[in-house]
Amino acid sequence: MAAQTPVPGCREHRGLGFVYVCKTCNNDLICMDCVVGRHNKHDLVKLTEFVSEQTRQIQQYEDKLSKSDIPKVESDIKENEENFKESSKEFRQIINDIKHHGEEMKKEIDLLTDRLVKLCRNLEKMNEEIKEKNKNVLTKYLTEELRPQLDKCQRVRTFGTNNDAKALAKEIRNTGPTTPPLVTT
Ligand SMILES: [Zn+2]
Ligand SMILES: [Zn+2]
């Protein structure tokens, strides 16, 4: 503080040093002469008391910093770190869950794809079987009914008697063409 270093005193009274502090004048340092001079009846405090009060306040602030403010912030930093670790753990868990569910969904999609492909192949096979059956039916109809009928007509027309032709024409009128029993899906 100013009082502890050799100072000449206030501007008006050089060499007298400082003895008081004037509260009224914004903590101005004043000398013995100023007490009865321009600071007469002002609110004065002894410089030593003022200094020890300032020191006490600084000490108090130091205590507050070291015992309360700093530990609080240190604890906040630590807590923040722990919260981060905790939430990191949660994020890892969520990511694992997402991956796990993704794998499950892929398996289900693969399974469903296999089923649909299998179903489609079965349908194709059934279709093939129907086609085969119809081919057989039509072939049978062709070889066992239509071609023999054609043969018969040609035979009657070429070699038959009039009566044969008449009978055949009547037969044709009465029966008409039949359609084979085709299989549909
Ligand atoms: Zn003075
Ligand atoms: Zn004053």
Domain check: are 112 and 139 in the same one? Answer: yes
pTM exceeds 0.85, yes or no:
no
Are 8 and 22 within 8 A, CB to CB? no
Q: Calculate ∠ Cα 77-61-31, nearest 5°.
A: 155
Domain check: are 117 and 154 in the same one? Answer: yes
Ligand nearest to the CA of 24: 2
Domain check: are 71 and 61 in the same one? Answer: no
The enclosing domain of 57 has a CATH number of 3.30.160.60
Domain check: are 43 and 125 in the same one? Answer: no
Domain check: are 61 and 104 in the same one? Answer: no
Domain check: are 88 and 168 in the same one? Answer: yes
Per-residue pLDDT of the chain in tens (185 residues, 90 and over written 9): 444 555 578 888 888 889 999 999 999 999 989 999 889 999 999 999 999 999 999 999 999 999 999 999 999 999 999 999 999 999 999 999 999 999 999 999 999 999 999 999 999 999 999 999 999 999 999 999 899 999 999 999 999 999 999 999 998 888 766 777 777 76
* Pairwise CA distance, residues 65 & 59, whole Å: 10
Domain check: are 152 and 71 in the same one? Answer: yes
CA of 11 to the centre of ligand 2 (A): 14
Domain check: are 36 and 111 in the same one? Answer: no
**Which domain does 157 fall in, by range?**
67-185
Query: In whole angstroms, how far apart are CA 104 and each of 14, 96, 99, 101, 177?
Result: 93, 12, 9, 5, 61
Ligand nearest to the CA of 30: 1
| Tokens, residue 3 | 């009082």
Task: Give the ranges where the chain is alpha helix by DSSP (H).
Answer: 32-35, 47-63, 70-141, 147-159, 162-175
Domain check: are 62 and 89 in the same one? Answer: no
* Pairwise CA distance, residues 29 & 46, whole Å: 10
Domain check: are 80 and 160 in the same one? Answer: yes
Residue 1 is predicted with a pLDDT of: 47
CA of 45 to the centre of ligand 1 (A): 15
> Domain total for the chain?
2
Domain check: are 32 and 82 in the same one? Answer: no
Ion ligand 1 — residues with CB < 5 Å: 10, 13, 31, 33-34
Domain check: are 105 and 124 in the same one? Answer: yes
- Indicate the residue among 66, 82, 102 that finishes a domain: 66
Ligand nearest to the CA of 40: 2
Are 39 and 26 within 8 A, CB to CB? no
Ligand nearest to the CA of 25: 2
